[in-house]
Amino acid sequence: MSPSQDSLQPPPSRGAYDDLLLGSRRIGSSEQTAREAFFKELAPDKRESMFELEVLLKGVACFSNPRNHPGVNRRTPVVAIDFREPLALMAGGIRRISHIARACLGERDRTFVFHRYLETVLPEDTARSRLVRRDLVQDSPEASLLGLRRSFTNLAEVTEALLRLNRLPFRLFYATASLAQREIAQNAYFNPLSGLEFRPEFDRITSPEVLEVIQRIPGDAQRLVALTFLSLFRMLRYVGLIDSIAREPSDAMSFVPARIYLLLAVLRSDVRALAQHLRRNSGALLSSSFEKELLSTSASDIEARYDELQGLARQLVEVRGCFECLTGSLRLELRRVFEHDLPAPGSGATEAELRQAAIDAVGVLRPALQNGVLFVGRTLGARLEEVQVFDDEQSRRDISERLRQHVWMFHQIVRAFILKASHAGETEDRWTAASSLQFVREFLAYFRAMGYPLLRACDYPRFQAFVSAIRELNDADLLDPPKLRRAMQECEAFHGFLLELFDQIGRREELVGRPFEKRTAAAALRLYLGD
């Protein structure tokens, strides 16, 4: 599910944000116009249902990969795992897709029911073939939706028969998912299988502040920033949908467990796709952006623009560091949720337990994604406010609560680093020094995932000095005592700042009367440290 290079190349005539909305999914202009007209005629609740339908279509493909299953033991070979329970969840998602298509088709669903009846009573094979060929024509969104209704109804019957087996091997599970994926890939209007794809019907960013930040970025870097913001807001929609599903009343056609697991699979796949795309492309695109700016400057203006160009280069370096920290933090949060908070398929968890686990997971992931939006904005020089961007008082409370927890967690990490650094002797030989560098590498990994976003979030006054000391330490091949001392001094200053910040956050209006849950924070810290 990783994004292809071709699908992410922008046409020259549109801006990065508009191009990603209109061009990240391969669809012709006439089909796009017909699709927009189709969505305009839908009632608001049906539009939300269509968003769920497209995410579930993608979820069927993502769920076929066991890496996207919560709580799966990675050391157990797939050939030794019984995939009957995962297939049951996929079958629930398939039935839910068919149910949504039926609801959105309305009166046109009668055509499908009538055709299925004719297929059973027509005696001539040629007549049946003509009927099938007529159903394969996708000349409108309604016809494409009807095609999904037909194929997923058939798949539902196949999966129901397969679930009668006592044991289901991975190859049979994957083959069934591949049949569904093939139907989706051949659909003319509803094919959301690209790794990073956005739709104007679902993904328009409503915050003027965020749109202004995107437009301010010059050159090729603007595409990376637009892609990151669109991905984060799309993931927030996934998380919101998971939360609403987990809280809705039970219904025979709701298929709550299936919908939750498939949506979680899409979320994990998209986080992985975003991290992979930024890791592979951010360096080249950011350097290309700077190169164009530099080459557009005449030789006589170089001296006058030297400070400006140097500042731009420094900002682009920080932007790349921001992307690395963001994706590292999100993957860490998602791994924690998948491996510790959510029950694995087939674990025996009841629907009520799964609902509560999903709600708890949303409580972790939503503020993480929201903080990601704010973090990128601050790195780009914009002071984004929670209420303006998310228009939700609960978001402000959740973000502050998460910030307080992370301040406490990272202050523990910094304190441990200071203690280890103070005992790293300067007289050690090079072999001992090389082995003792491990604690430095671990601290740098924690800094990238948690420390750097905290520096941005709290406007640390010694930001540049701290980052410079950490970068020097990162560039060292062996334990360098002077560099280690400088990093330790900066960490001591930051440690004191974190203690003061922790008290300040606790006095915020949205956290008044909400005591700090130290046990919860300590448990989260143990998961971060891998204990």
HEC-encoded secondary structure of 430-482: HHHHHHHCHHHHHHHHHHHHHHHHHHHHCCCCCHHHHHHHHHHHHHCCCCCHH
Ramachandran angles phi, psi of 70, nearest 5°: -65, 145
pLDDT of 119: 57
Share of the chain above pLDDT 90, in %: 29
Q: C-alpha 463: how far from its chain's center?
A: 28
Q: Which residue has the higher pLDDT, 424 or 161?
A: 161
CB 238 within 8 A of CB 266: yes
pLDDT of 311: 83
Question: Which of 7-16, 120-129, 424-433, 480-489 reaches the highest mean pLDDT?
Answer: 480-489
Residue 2 has pLDDT above 50, yes or no: no
- Angle CA 345–347–351, to nearest 5: 75
| Domain locations in the chain as residue ranges | 30-193, 208-390, 397-529
208-390 is a CATH 1.20.120 domain: yes
Ranking 96-105, 191-200, 334-343, 461-470 by mean pLDDT, the lowest is 461-470
Q: What are the structure tokens assigned to 121, written together?
A: 């009573």
Share of the chain above pLDDT 70, in %: 86
pLDDT tens column, 197-219: 899 999 999 888 899 989 888 77
Residue 120 has pLDDT above 70, yes or no: no
pTM: predicted TM-score of the whole model, two decimal places: 0.83
Ranking 290-304, 410-424, 426-440 by mean pLDDT, the lowest is 426-440
CA distances from 496 to 78, 123, 399, 519, 521 (A): 49, 84, 22, 22, 19
Output the average pLDDT for the chain.
Answer: 83
Residue 476's pLDDT band, with cuts at 50, 70 and 90, is low
CA distances from 92 to 60, 159, 261 (A): 10, 9, 10
Residue 118 has pLDDT above 60, yes or no: no
Residue 429's pLDDT band, with cuts at 50, 70 and 90, is very low
Residue 253 burial by CB count (10 A; 0-12/13-18/19+): exposed, middle or buried? Answer: exposed
Residue 385, sorted as left (phi over 0), alpha (psi -120 to 50) or beta, turns out to be beta
Q: Which residue has the higher pLDDT, 2 or 334?
A: 334
SS3 string, 173-228, reads HHHHHHHHHHHHHCCCCCCCCCCCCCCHHHHCCCCHHHHHHHHHCCCCHHHHHHHH
- The span from the CA of 525 to the CA of 148, in Å, is 45
Q: What are the structure tokens assigned to 84, written together?
A: 């009957």
Residue 437's pLDDT band, with cuts at 50, 70 and 90, is low
Ramachandran angles phi, psi of 426, nearest 5°: -80, -15
